[in-house]
Structure formats: structure tokens, C-alpha cells
Structure 1
């Protein structure tokens, strides 16, 4: 039954993506509304799956790459839903929905067995550290989506006021993601000292999290001190997602270290 909920969520994200593409191609409001309803359904199924897995496991479902990926897709969906409801950002769906589907598709390729937490993860810092990473990565992913839409809309001759709103939204998302990533790194340092008697060990995951943090810190510096805006910031937001993806997937795939469990 648990797997059925997971794959139902995956199918709903896929169907929502197809409808959103069709809505963009044929300019049909009904198709866009259908994509929105399917997105809400997929999010509900995603939420139900995480809740059920957490109850069965007796812990937060964030302990390995499969669980984190599933939560990552959930976080992206949550942010898209909030932005759509509060800011009428339905235009984001054509790029945000494929992002949700792809992240959950990656999760589908991972081992799904429920296992007990390894001793190093049995800590009060577990939820804060990994939960903050979910929201950080989701915010960065959505900011990258906004960057893509900015470039597309600019090429189509979108009015300056709308582009300015998109640019500011991307900045706010990155600022939030940066704050959450700071929490990830600081809580990880404290947790590492408790678990391994060292605040920092230059583990590949730690190192790439720091590289990602520095890259986004440069974005915020250029934005606030140099007043960079518009197209160059949109490209920066898109390129920066590559660092997030490598930290999320590349490190686990290509490098081994203390974080190789997830």
C-alpha cells in the first residue's frame, strides 16, 4: 500500500506536468486549472506517503537518499503551492511541476527499504539539520525555476514591471534558502562534534555544502552591494542550482564519506 501511494503521487506529478505543458501550448485556462488540481492531489499523496512512512519507521522519514528526495519533492511542491496562492504565480507551474516530477523520479530509483537509524543519526539535531536542508534545496530549486521563466519572459518582451517582480521573487527565495543552508551547516557542525568529536572534517558533503553556501553568498553580495539585478541574476540562480544538485546527488554518487548513508 505504501508503494502504491508513492507511485500514485509520482503519476499525479507527471499528469500535472503534461497538462501544464498542454495549457502553455494551447493557451487553455481549463487545462491549467486541471494541472493545478493534479498538483494539489500529488502534494496530498506525497504528504500522506511521508506521514505513513514516518509512522511505520517511528522517526522522521529523512534518513537516506530515498527519503530525502521524496521530502525534497514535497518541499518544492509546498513552495510552489504557497507562491501560487499568495502571489498568483501560476506562471511558474510550467517549470516547477517538471522539477517536482524529476526529483520524485530520482527518489523512485533509490532503495525504498525502511531501516533503523544508524547510531550517529540518533540525535535531537536530526530533524533540524535535515529538515532545514529540505527547505533550503526547495527554495533554491524554485529560485532557479523563476530564473528560467525570467529569461523566457524577457525574450518574449514581458513588461518591465512583471520582470522586476520575478527578479525580486528569485532574490527572496535565495535569501530564504541561504538562511536555511546556514542553519544546515551550523547545526551540522554541532551535531558532528557530538557524533564524531569534530566540528568539521572536510567530508565531501560538508565541503560541497560549504561551496554551495559560498556561491549563494556571492549572489547576495552582488545583489546587495553591487545592485546586480535582472538577466545576470537569473542566470546566476539557474547555474547555482547545479551546485545544489551536485551536493544532493553528485557527492553521494561519485564521492564517499561520513554522509554516504544519504
Structure 2
């Protein structure tokens, strides 16, 4: 296939991924909406009345009657189709993931370089990384409750990439023609995907009430977010260090107070503060979640806002 055909195929893969993510989101939402409710800290379980045989009469008579006895048992039975909808949604999410991967691979083949040299390619890759983090976690732990929110995040991200950041496949500026793009940017993409998963869990933590809810407990949501950040923080640290090494090779200095460098470091400090608070000060619950979401906000501004609103040496995103 020619480069133009590969580029067109990449665009079709992106559209297919958006559609698949949207349908998967609906399936996950059906499972969440009609699945079993989960009690919160202050929740009390409902009771159902079960009839048990109770002996009645005097003198140990053998005749028995049926008396009503109330048992405290768990509550809301899930809809029979809810689990099936979730299973179908998971399959569609994997197919959408494959389409997302196909978009990245064919884009790279069409331009004969690593396919994250502009904002369009970078956002497509981050959406892929976020879905990968979700699906990889699902392989070991049941986190399908995150499905609707991760899918809608990925679909909106790809839609934003197509409508706002789209760049025709082609060469990049000379500064990006380096093997460092495979090292530095890849680490930033993977860690950003994991941070996104943690951000979704953090938002759900704040949204969830204390009573019965379709969402898992706040402890489970906090645990998912914390594990994702523990895994991704070293990757982000490596990305910052690799970026400094690349800057020295490209511009002759490790640090130059460029806006992207500054906000990458601010993001690192924010996530470091979250981990430090969890490890030493024993922060739990709402306080640590708010710190985590502040760090996630710094990440989003660094990845998107800096490229759009602030001029600097990294202003080659092709969106101005």
C-alpha cells in the first residue's frame, strides 16, 4: 500500500475505534445501571422475607405450620441481561483497542517514523494507552465498573484529536527526528494513560455517595487509583529525565525553563506530593483523592493546554 493509502486507513481505524468505544460504553453502562448495587459505609442492607417451617402447637405436636421469618440478606438482584451486556462491551472494547492500535501502526508506516510527532498523533496514542491500562487491569481484577467512564474518555479524546488536532500525515520538524522520541515520548504516553485511569477512578470516588450505589466502594476506587499512580509515577520520572537528556542533545542544555519542561516538572511534583502524603502522612480518602485530581489537572494542562495556549520550544503541535 502507498503512504497515502496507509494514512487513509489510519483515519478509518480512528473512526472505527471511536464507534466501538461508544458502543462498548453503552454496554458497560447497562451493566452498571442494572447490576447489583453495592453498600457504602453508611448503608444498611435491605431485608427480604423468607418463609421457614416453624413447629406450632403444645406438647411437642408434630403438626407444623409455616411462619414468616425475616432474614437480613443481600439485596438487589442484577438483571439477567446486565452481565451479558458487560461481557459484550468488554469484547467490543478489545476490538476498539485493536482498531486504535491499527490507527497508530498504519500512521507510523505511512510517515516512516514514530507516530507521535504532533498533537493529533499524541492524543490518539494516549487514548490507546488509557484503554490499554483499563483492559490490562481487567485481566487481573474486575474493574468493569470503570468501563463506561474510560470508554467515554477515550471516545471523546479521539473525537477531539480528529476535530481539533488533526494533522495530515507528513514529516516532522528536525528536532523530532531522533531516537529519543521513541524513549521519551513513549514513556510519557504510557504513564499518561495510567494517570488517566487513576483520574477516572478519582472522579468516581468524589461522585459516589455513602449509601447504596452501583459503583464499588470508595476504598476500591481509591485502591485502583493508587496502584495506577504507583506504577506510572516512575515512568513519568523517567520521561522527565529522558526529556532533559534529549534537550541537551537537541538544544545544548538540560533545562531551559521552557513551558513544557516547567509543567512536566510541576506535574511530577504534584504526583510526588500525593504519593508522599499517602506514604508518610497517612492521608486517605477525600483529601488524597483531591491531591491526585489536582495532579491530574496539571497533567492535562501540560499535555494539551501548554501546546495550545503557550508558545515555547515545544510549540510544534500543529494546532495554532
TM-score normalised by length of structure 1? 0.93
Alignment of structure 1 residues 51-70 onto 2, 5 Å? 51-70=105-124
User: Which ranges of 4 or more aligned residues in structure 1 deviate by more than 4 Å?
Assistant: none
The equivalences for 1:27-42 within 5 A come to 27=35, 28-42=82-96
Shift of 1:231: 2.4
Query: Which stretch of the first structure deviates more once superposed, 102-111 or 246-255?
Result: 102-111
Answer yes or no: is 1:215 the counterpart of 2:223: no
Conserved 8 A contact 1:145-1:238:
no
Query: Partners of 1:121 and 1:209 in 2: how far apart?
Result: 18
2:166 is the counterpart of 1:111: yes
Flag the structure with more relative contact order, 1 or 2, with Cα contacts below 8 A and sequence separation at least 6.
2
Give RMSD over aligned pairs.
Answer: 1.8
Once the two structures are superposed, residues 84-134 of structure 1 have per-residue CA deviations (whole angstroms, 9 ceiling, x without a partner) of 111121111122111111211111122231121321112221111000110
TM-score by length of 2: 0.77
SS at match of 1:155: coil
- What are structure 2's unaligned runs of at least 5 residues? 1-8, 36-81
Matched residue, 2:13: 5
Summarize deviations over 1:139-187 as a string: whole Å, max 9, x none.
11101111233334453357xx954343233112112222111111101
User: Paired residue for 1:21, among 10, 21, 29?
Assistant: 29
Residue matched to 1:130: 185
Per the TM alignment, residue 240 of structure 1 is displaced from its structure 2 partner at its CA by 2.3
Determine the structure 2 residue equivalent to 1:181: 236
Q: Matches of 2:153 and 2:10 in 1, distance apart?
A: 23
Shift of 1:76: 0.4
Q: How many residues align?
A: 260
| 1:32-74 per-position Cα deviation (integer Å, ceiling 9, x unaligned) | 2222121111101001111111112111111110000000000
Query: Which structure dedicates a bigger proportion of its chain to strand?
Result: 2
Note if contact 2:120-2:166 (Cα within 8 Å) is conserved in structure 1: yes
| Equivalent pair of 2:191/2:232 in contact (CA under 8 Å) | yes
Higher radius of gyration, 1 or 2: 2
